[in-house]
Amino acid sequence: MVMTSPDEWVPLARLTLELHACAENVYLVRNLVDQAADSWGLSQEVRHLGRLILTELTTNACRLYPGKVIHTWVATPRYGVGEVGVWDPDSANLPRIIAADEAAETGRGLFIINELTGGRLGWYPSQRAGKVVWARFGP
């Protein structure tokens, strides 16, 4: 997982959603990706991949910061590459990819996202506080 500057890749437009971190709200980010796919004419493959990735990133934030406000987004594809991200209020607990034990029930999410995105997964410190975890996907 790489740390980047937010200025390295600035998408053209975003659909955003602010929500309280709880498992019951995760379905809302799938709706956000669906709205983006419908608005921007994205393929079903990109829609499903975006839903999977943003759901996993949001679920991680919900598990780690229950009840806190988090921000999610889907960015307009640029050069055929989409971006999703989640801001959370914690700048100290940095994301890391771990090799999960085959018997483990959790711990595989970032590993799977990293594989699905070809390593286009990272984070950066937010200018106001906390951090942003992002993933880019597509060709």
For 97-126, what is the mean pLDDT?
84
**pLDDT tens-place string over residues 66-102:** 999 999 999 977 776 789 999 999 999 998 888 766 6
Question: Residue 81's pLDDT is what?
Answer: 77
Question: Residue 104's pLDDT is what?
Answer: 66
Question: Residue 76's pLDDT is what?
Answer: 78
> Which amino acid is present at 106?
T
DSSP one-letter code for 67: T
- Choose the weakest-confidence range: 23-27, 37-41, 76-80, 129-133: 76-80
**Contact assessment for residue 2 and residue 8, using Cβ atoms and an 8 Å cutoff:** no
Cross-strand bridge partners of residue 124: 132
**Contact assessment for residue 53 and residue 113, using Cβ atoms and an 8 Å cutoff:** yes
User: How many other CB atoms are found less than 10 A from the CB of residue 39?
Assistant: 12
Tell me the whole-structure pTM to 2 decimals.
0.87
